[in-house]
Amino acid sequence: CSSSTPITATLFPGDGIGPEIAESVKKVFTTAGVPIDWEEHYVGTEIDPRTQSFLTWESLESVRRNKVGLKGPMATPIGKGHRSLNLTLRKELNLYANVRPCYSLPGYKTRYDDVNLITIRENTEGEYSGLEHQVVRGVVESLKIITRQASLRVAEYAFHYAKTHGRERVSAIHKANIMQKTDGLFLKCCREVAEKYPEITYEEVVIDNCCMMLVKNPALFDVLVMPNLYGDIISDLCAGLVGGLGLTPSCNIGEDGVALAEAVHGSAPDIAGKNLANPTALLLSGVMMLRHLKLNEQAEQIHSAIINTIAEGKYRTADLGGSSTTTEFTKAICDHL
């Protein structure tokens, strides 16, 4: 595998702790002999009129060309007249599904030791339509948009994911008892796709009940698919079960075969530049990227090295109760390779 021609991938280190944890990924990947050439892009310092945001046009072109990338945290600068960096990426690259595996890490104790699920979030519409207005003074409305096209697309992705990853069940999460038309359409699309996958068990769970079941017994769930806002909420809840966003990876899937793996935690400006950040979420997101590229051998090697380093417990960053620096933790992972 290490003899194959290198693949070019876009790297957005992001800001805050982003550059440090991106450095960790580069180090680990190099040590593992991963055949990747990184094309690094930073967030711009002024608004690029072509993206209406601080993201440069060149950086988007880079992902479009390479069709694969890894992204660290990006804090959207405060001010008017530009769009959120994360939302711009999703819209411009048509990243329609956000996939977040969430599993208990051996040796890292939380209140749960039996979590092993995948949330798949519709990433382009729903409550994130951006359509809002004031009806009269003191009365405002937001529009939640659900389309058949986007719902079928994410449902298809979820069932295909389940089938190709040895998963047995897909749960569609909804509030169709209240939003009969929007969430109702989402469910209708899920049902249509479910019929094409008779080997996968399909169920529908109301979001309030789902959250209650998740905190009582997360082992009940396997693959969960849902509209945008529910995905935002439930994926963070699930991350909390196993220790937080610092430990959970994600990958965004686009229509044109684009995959942008992403650490969804914040940029932690308070500890930026201090060599204290935990690179685990970005590293595990990198592993998702490798699997997407079918570099399975290196993906598994790196995955095991990360998991084993955390399990051993000798080198852990402060957020996990340890006192290692980012570079010490990174070196420990490299030593496990």
Ligand X SMILES: CC(C)[C@H](C(=O)O)[C@@H](O)C(=O)O
Q: CA 80 → CA 49, 54, 143, distances in Å?
A: 14, 12, 21
Structure tokens at 33: 């002999």
Q: CA 203 → CA 168, 192, 194, 210, 219, distances in Å?
A: 11, 13, 9, 11, 15
**Per-residue mark of binding to ligand X, 43-82 (x: CB under 6 A):** ----------------------------------------
Structure tokens at 259: 């995959």
Cβ closer to ligand X: 66 or 123? 123
Q: Which of 10, 59, 86, 252 binds ligand X (CB under 6 A)?
A: 86
Q: Return the range that interacts with a copy of itself (CB under 8 A); candidates 6-14, 65-73, 100-108, 232-240.
A: 232-240
Cβ closer to ligand X: 192 or 236? 236
| Nearest Cα to Cα of residue 99 among 200, 184, 167, 199 | 167
| Nearest Cα to Cα of residue 214 among 233, 237, 230 | 237
Structure tokens at 300: 């598994």
| Nearest Cα to Cα of residue 69 among 80, 54, 59, 79 | 59
Q: Which of 155, 221, 232, 263 binds ligand X (CB under 6 A)?
A: 232
Kind plus residue range of the DSSP H or E element containing 97: strand 95-103
> What does DSSP assign to residue 125?
S
Q: Which of 62, 84, 124, 267 binds ligand X (CB under 6 A)?
A: 84
Cβ neighbours of 121 (radius 10 Å): 27
Q: Which of 140, 178, 215, 311 binds ligand X (CB under 6 A)?
A: 178
233 binds, among ligand X, a copy of itself, none (CB under 5 to 8 A by kind): a copy of itself
Q: Which of 40, 61, 168, 208 binds a copy of itself (CB under 8 A)?
A: 208
Residue 203 contacts a copy of itself per CB under 8 A: no
185 binds, among ligand X, a copy of itself, none (CB under 5 to 8 A by kind): a copy of itself
| Nearest Cα to Cα of residue 115 among 240, 264, 278 | 240
* SS3 state at 288: helix
Residue 140 contacts a copy of itself per CB under 8 A: yes
Structure tokens at 90: 């999703």
Beta bridge partners of 48: 53
Question: Which residues from 244-303 bind ligand X, rule CB under 6 A?
Answer: 264
Helix axes 280-292, 18-31, angle to 10 degrees: 50
Size of the site for a copy of itself (CB under 8 A): 54
86 binds, among ligand X, a copy of itself, none (CB under 5 to 8 A by kind): ligand X
Minimum distance of a copy of itself from residue 169's CB (angstroms)? 20
Question: Which residues from 161-200 bind a copy of itself, rule CB under 8 A?
Answer: 175, 177-182, 184-185
Minimum distance of ligand X from residue 97's CB (angstroms)? 13
CA distance 61 to 10: 10
For ligand X, the binding residues (CB under 6 A) are 84, 86, 177-178, 208, 232, 264
For a copy of itself, the binding residues (CB under 8 A) are 84, 110-112, 127-128, 132-135, 137-149, 175, 177-182, 184-185, 207-209, 211-216, 229, 232-237, 239-241, 243-245
